[in-house]
Amino acid sequence: MKPINIFQRFGQWLGEGALPPAQEGPPQSLSTSPPALQLSGADAQPFSYEFVPESSAYTAAFQAITSQLTRVPGRQLSEDPATLESVLSYFEDTYDGYGNDNRPRIIRILRGLSESDDDVHGAVGDLQSMCGAGCTVDYVGGARAIKAAEAEWDAFQTRIYPEGGGLSGLINNQVREFAVAGAGSLEWVPQKNRRGIDRVALVPSEEIRIRRDPDTGVLRYQQWGFATVIDLDPTTYHHMALFTSGRKPYGVPLYISSLFSLERKRQLLAAEQRVINLMARSALVQAMITQPTPEAFGMPGVPVNDRRYIAAVDAFYKAAARTILAGGENGLYVGSDKVDLKVHPIAQTAQGAPEVTKGNQHRVWNALGTQPFLRGEMDSTTQALAQVTIPLVYAQAVMVQQGLKRQLEFGFNLHLRLMGIPAQANMLFTPPKSPFLLDEARAFLFRAEANGKLAELFGKAWAQHAMREYDIVEDDDQRAPAWWNPSPAAGTTSPNK
């Protein structure tokens, strides 16, 4: 083993420049064999290295490091229910806000609402429109590798998901999954000869249960719901939760908080429909008809409790009701003079219902992360209000784009590795386009002018602030292309002079 200076390994723990200079002369070993440090604890593992002292201060520091290492545990001390292969792990498969329900059922309910409810469907459509503005791919690697990767990307976009329209269809599908399931779940299926990715398989998130290996601590993804439990290979399967709650590894759906308001919305719509049906019947018609005798039906001597007589009376009243209803549409009734008709008006109003419905509607929109003007309500919308609320909607779309980025980068980089192309892909999604570009351009110009004034006032001291604001790092000017030579504006001095 090659002798090393202990502070080359642990210098970051002690700080630089805090120790006296090293003594001159060749290093002297304290022992003839590398000492082994045994950590305390049942799971501690021994390790060894050669220690080359350079001063008494180094020796004291080495002893301090040794003492600290012996107190470091060699395993996780806290308990994680995901490691339990028992019924206790089932409770990690629920959402805390819906303790009496299970995660797969809630996801399926949200998935159905995204197809049947107008608000949920519209919110998903808006999110898909903002996230699907387009994407570009940057590559890290040699020139030949980058050229080969670009050619593979063009074919990859149409091959991976042909049943859904290629890459754009896969993006729309995953946006919906993030909204209703809280996670994207994709298996990238290799070709039979393992020379690239053949297609992508969509694995519903509600079929996935996540366990943690108690020995290695690595998460294991299992597909449930079939005759056997399928262990998915992490080499080709990727599960991307947008955000989680507590220590549970499952993603929380974006729209999960809308379930109560959507249920109230369903009840309000049913109540409104009942009121509308009653309002359509403006009056109640009461018809008093003398019941015919058995002789009138050609049944002399038949008692009134005879089944034949009862059936004949029932048919008589039904025929009379049909006659009255048919004539009522035209305000005309022609029949026997022994029929007494009375009309009772029905007064039904929906007073107060619009306020209740509107209040619940706003709760639905808030839970869906959308805005009233995006759902067609323009009563109180102003440009100032829109400039405040639209960035909140866009921020949610950017968060979803980060999840899409991770999913697609995993699949395409796996494809490049299988193809033997030494390049790494980095996907960049186009952020949603702001409807206030002119105002934002003016604000950007004013900030640039202010930075110029402050640079004149503070000089080089203002450089770091300006670089942070515009995301500029040192040596960025060295990476500029040869044709980039902007001329300074009239009356100003080039910053390079």
Domain boundaries, the chain: 6-70, 81-254+400-429, 283-345, 437-479
Is residue 356 predicted with pLDDT exceeding 80? no
Specify the pLDDT at position 233.
92
Find the mean pLDDT for residues 378-403. 77
Provide the pLDDT for residue 264: 85
Sheet containing 183-190, strands listed edge to edge, beginning at the edge strand earlier in sequence: 197-202, 183-190, 237-241
User: What pLDDT shows up at residue 60?
Assistant: 77
Percent of the chain with pLDDT over 70: 71
CA dist., res. 93 & res. 9, Å (int): 43
In this predicted structure, the answer to whether residue 84 has a pLDDT above a threshold of 60 is: no
pLDDT band at 44 (very low <50, low <70, confident <90, very high): very low
- Residue 473 CB coordination number (10 Å): 8
Highest-pLDDT range among 192-196, 354-358, 366-370, 474-478? 192-196
User: For the segment 90-136, what is each residue's pLDDT rounded down to a tens digit?
Assistant: 556 788 888 788 888 999 999 999 998 888 888 898 888 888 878 88
Backbone angles phi, psi at 369, to 5 degrees: 70, 25
pLDDT of 482 > 90? The answer is: no
pLDDT tens string 57-77: 777 777 777 777 667 666 666
Mean pLDDT for 401-413 is 94
Can you give the pLDDT at residue 75?
A: 63
- Inter-axis angle of helices 103-116 and 118-131, nearest 10: 90
Q: Residues with Cβ < 8 Å from 258, sequence gap 6 or more?
A: 120, 364, 367, 368
Q: Which residue has the higher pLDDT, 209 or 93?
A: 209
Mean pLDDT, all residues of the chain = 77
Is residue 436's pLDDT more than 90? no
8 A C-beta contact, residue 139 and residue 149: yes
pLDDT at 254 over 60: yes
Mean per-residue pLDDT, 200-211: 91
Question: What does the pLDDT average to over 446-465?
Answer: 91
Listed range (14-18, 206-210, 430-434, 477-481) with the worst mean pLDDT: 14-18
Q: Decide if pLDDT at 229 tops 80.
A: yes
Tell me how far CA of residue 301 lies from CA of 96, 296, 297, in angstroms. 74, 11, 11
Note the pLDDT tens digit of each residue in 164-194. Answer: 889 999 999 999 999 999 999 999 999 999 8
What integer is the mean pLDDT of 462-471?
A: 88
**Does residue 16 carry a pLDDT above 60?**
no
pTM listed for this prediction? 0.64
Phi/psi zone of residue 196: left (φ > 0), alpha (ψ -120 to 50 degrees), beta? left
Q: Which residue has the higher pLDDT, 327 or 469?
A: 469
Tokens found for residue 210: 């996540």
